[in-house]
A and B are shown apart, each in its own frame.
Chain A
């Protein structure tokens, strides 16, 4: 599924003022999800408008450490967010 069709769940709370990067909190089930710097950039661009390659560009511009095979990494990461109820598909 193209990342452009995935949007961050608006009910999820982001705290990005932590030492290591950030944490997401789902008030529905009280589960938390830690984000490193790369994950935070991806999360901030998960608005249903950015394509996978556009998000990859943002990561490349903003992060010092770039994961190998970045676009596949972004897709796996967003799949995990969807699986955990933190993001959803736009219909």
Chain B
């Protein structure tokens, strides 16, 4: 549930637009994400009083113009936003908030991946690679049999003990580099059925990965997002996060069929992709 103080209304509205949030849900059981300006006294505001502040022990860190407050008992986050001076500052402050959401997701066995996500018949497939590694290009080369939902960051959450769902998250570089502002619906929930780790190559092939290989590649994909903020809360928290992220990488490798996908610039890989997915019983 997202809320804000009056001083932060404009920033919050823009944040919701970037994430394409449309639903309004109000429930005591849903974690709260509250925005306020950094000039307001959060300890005295009624929202924070109702949420347990100051009875709970809150700690905080500053990241790109946002001071993020969290505690170890609830998943609520309070974010004090410094008035951004530029458009880029505004985007960075949003990125910092999303990073805080990712950190909380890790506590419940979820994680971001540096990946694009496409869907066919309700089944989600991620294409993972570092920046410039071909996530967006690969996704755009797929036919209309696949629907593209996100091309840079995906938040994966456990659905039950053995499956995961994925939510697309913004492509921040689109906003920072003034590209056409394609945004993704963060509320979109897609069952995650397969992962492909992209490698640029001279010859196209798709190779199934063993669990320990998939663990390493999932861990790398998680690390590419999470390492941006590992330093924020001190060495003990950094060490804990690194270990937790690895644990989640292994859980993903155990549950989600994973493949190495070697691609050329112009080859046609979709037929091979669909064949592999059919052989695995995914399509």
Which residues on A are within 8 Å of B, measured CB to CB? 13, 15, 17-23, 25, 27, 30, 32, 34-35
**B282 touches A (CB below 8 Å):** no
Contact, CB under 8 Å: B243 / A23:
no
B219 and A18 contacting across the interface, CB-CB below 8 Å? no
Q: Which of B149-194 contact A (CB under 8 A)?
A: none
Q: Which has the most chain B C-beta neighbours within 10 Å: A13, A20, A30?
A: A30
Residues from 206 to 245 in B contacting A, C-beta threshold 8 Å: 210-213, 215-216, 219-220, 223, 239, 242-243
| Contacts known (A18-B253, A18-B254); A27 close to B215, Cβ less than 8 A | no
Cβ–Cβ contact B242 & A30, under 8 A: yes
Residues of B within 8 A of A (CB): 210-213, 215-216, 219-220, 223, 239, 242-243, 246-247, 250, 253-254
**In the complex, chain A residues whose CB is within 8 Å of the CB of B242:** 27, 30
- Chain A, residue nearest B254 (CB): A18
Given A17-B254, A18-B253; A34-B243 close (CB under 8 Å): no
Contacts of B210 in A (CB 8 A): 19-20, 34
Select B243's contact among A13, A19, A35, beta carbons within 8 Å. Answer: A13
Given contacts A15-B250, A30-B219, A32-B219, A20 and B212 within 8 Å (CB-CB): yes
Residue from A15, A17, A25, A34 within 8 A of B213 (CB atoms)? A34
Residues in B with CB closer than 8 Å to A30 are 219-220, 223, 242, 246
Residue of A nearest to B243 (CB): A27
B231 CB to closest chain A CB (Å) equals 14
User: How far does the Cβ of B195 sit from chain A's closest Cβ, in whole Å?
Assistant: 16
Q: A8 vs B253: C-alpha distance in the bound complex, in angstroms?
A: 25
Pair A32/B254 contact, Cβ less than 8 Å: no
Task: List 18 extra interface pairs beyond A23-B211, A30-B223, CB under 8 A.
Answer: A13-B246, A15-B247, A18-B211, A18-B212, A18-B215, A20-B212, A21-B212, A22-B212, A23-B212, A23-B215, A27-B239, A27-B242, A27-B243, A32-B212, A32-B216, A32-B246, A34-B212, A34-B213
Q: How far is the CA of A13 from the CA of B219 in the complex (A)?
A: 13
Q: What are 8 pairs between A and B in contact, CB < 8 Å?
A: A18-B211, A19-B254, A20-B210, A20-B211, A20-B212, A25-B243, A27-B243, A27-B246
Please tell me if the beta carbons of B250 and A18 are within 8 angstroms of each other in the complex.
yes
Q: Could you tell me the distance between the alpha carbons of A17 and B247 in the complex, rounded to whole angstroms?
A: 11
Contacts of B254 in A (CB 8 A): 17-19
Q: Nearest Cβ distance between residue A34 and chain B, in whole angstroms?
A: 3
Roughly how many angstroms separate A17 CA and B212 CA in the complex, as a whole number? 10
| Residue in chain A with minimal CB distance to B220 | A30
In whole Å, how far is B241's beta carbon from the nearest beta carbon of chain A?
A: 10
Task: State in angstroms the CA–CA spacing of A17 and B213 once bound together.
Answer: 14
In the complex, what's the smallest C-beta–C-beta distance from A51 to chain B, in angstroms? 28
The 8 residue pairs across chains A and B that have the minimum distance between CB atoms = A34-B212, A18-B211, A23-B212, A32-B216, A15-B250, A25-B246, A27-B242, A19-B211
- Shortest A52–chain B CB gap in Å is 25
- Residues of A near B247 (CB, < 8 A) are 13, 15
**B223 partner residues in chain A, CB cutoff 8 A:** 30
A13 to B212, CA, bound (A): 13
Report which residue of B211, B212, B223 has the largest number of chain A beta carbons within 10 angstroms of its beta carbon: B212
Name the residue of chain A whose CB is nearest to the CB of B241: A27
Residue of A nearest to B238 (CB): A27
